[in-house]
Amino acid sequence: MARAAGHCALLDNQPDPDVDRTCHTEDPIGMATLSQYQEPMKSILVIGLGISGYSVIRHLARQPVRLTVADTREIPPYLNSLKENYPDVDLVTGRIPLENLEEFDEIVASPGIELPASVMASKLVGDIELFARAVEAPVIGITGSNGKSTVTMLVHDMLLAAGQRVIAGGNLGTPALDLLEQERPDFYVLELSSFQLETVHSLHLVAAVILNISEDHLDRHKTIRAYTEAKLRIFRNAEQSVVNCDDDLLHKASLGTLNPIGFGLQPTDQDCEFGILEQDGMRILVHGNQQLIREDQLSIQGDSHILNVLSGLALVYASGVKLDNSVIQAAGNFRGLPHRCQMVGEYRGIQWINDSKATNPGATRAAIMNFKKPIILIVGGQGKGADFRNLGILIEQRVRHVILIGEDAEVIDAALSEYTERSNAFSLEQAVDMAVKLANSGDVVLFSPACASYDMFESYIHRGEAFAEIVAKRVQS
């Protein structure tokens, strides 16, 4: 708040560095006079009382604002914590007060909540926008349909190896606003979803990447164009953009961005700084003419992981950090994250792979491409409006049998009817039993659902853990 000449601003009892006096109760200015300088208290509605919404409440409760939180659930997850720690926050459960939205100066919606068109876009923000207003250290932003979490943690590890203080979070793990409570780092690395980017206006990034685009969340975005436009918002205030040269749509869309740095599974050129050199049958990751690391020195092989590493190296470079031996070694040592093409067992020559994080067809496509062996594919769940026909030709080439589970099993069955043999299972346990009978030595059983998990499980993590447990029990016996 601006301060009147010679007097302390409200809420500020510290000495004025420009005036040799402090504010005292006996000063000739009265509270009635002070009130004319006081701005009206801002009124904010927080929609959603899950992990993100509660993080917003904790952040805003430190500021002079009037808070209301609303959740369509009668008993939202953080209800007791809110009542115990923030009893002054107004609470509405079982509905969102759409009829009173004009009363609020700002509306903060949790990322997963879809609001009607009546919600004024000019008032709508999310936790990342609040983070952007408060952050004081450089931020690296990572989005895409697939690989976001992996690249976020890969960049975290490489920066750490380079001697930087770094904190990672956002759509991965710790909510972004909670990161601000830790000691200020040299870099924040944020995973950002399309939902979060929709309500971002002032996030300044030192480097930003869209890893890839494939059909996802069309139940929310309706069209692939709208989904892509939400992702492209990450480049709006970025100092440098990192661009996937193998994705024609993204490459063209990002040509107008500042200082694009390209990466891809191709030889390097002026558009693609980070790429691949093939030498004596071995692929080498390169930056321009500089050889960085061979594929066989990576802890994980396959095209999708090479792209992840190339994008991570490009982000570190774009952030002004030298790609020295410690950074390259960290890239080679990175072993990936759970539930992402994770081998959970090998029995009788059959590999069992948990790729439960594959919540869209693009992720399953990338997983299939990682294996040259015949595949038994377990797929299904909540399809979110995706078109599974795009998997057809690849499945015909690489997959020996598809086992279908979940809510949209019939939809997927119809989409793949021309391409391979299929079976339906009523549960994940039955699907594993079927795979045991179908798989031969040398095969891969790939659990890559291409769907959300909420029809049968609490989350993709719960789903992946269930698969690993079933495999351990059924297959070993």
State the catalytic residues: 148, 171, 217
In what helix (H) or strand (E) does residue 224 lie, and over which residues does it extend?
helix 224-232
Q: Where are the alpha helices (DSSP H) in 300-427?
A: 303-318, 325-333, 361-369, 392-398, 409-415
Q: Which residue has the tokens 């020295």?
A: 324
The pair of structure tokens assigned to 110 is 């949790």
- Tell me the one-letter amino acid at 443: D
Say if residues 238 and 172 touch (Cβ distance below 8 Å): no
**Paired residues of 444 in beta bridges:** 351, 375
Closest CA to 186 of 164, 206, 171: 164
Q: How far apart are CA 244 and CA 311, in angstroms?
A: 8
**Paired residues of 375 in beta bridges:** 399, 444
Q: Is the dihedral of CA 46, 48, 49, 52 positive or negative?
A: negative
Say if residues 464 and 357 touch (Cβ distance below 8 Å): yes
Residues 6+ apart with CB under 8 A from 231: 143, 144, 194, 197, 210, 213
Q: CA-CA distances (angstroms) from residue 277 to 281, 286, 333? A: 10, 7, 21
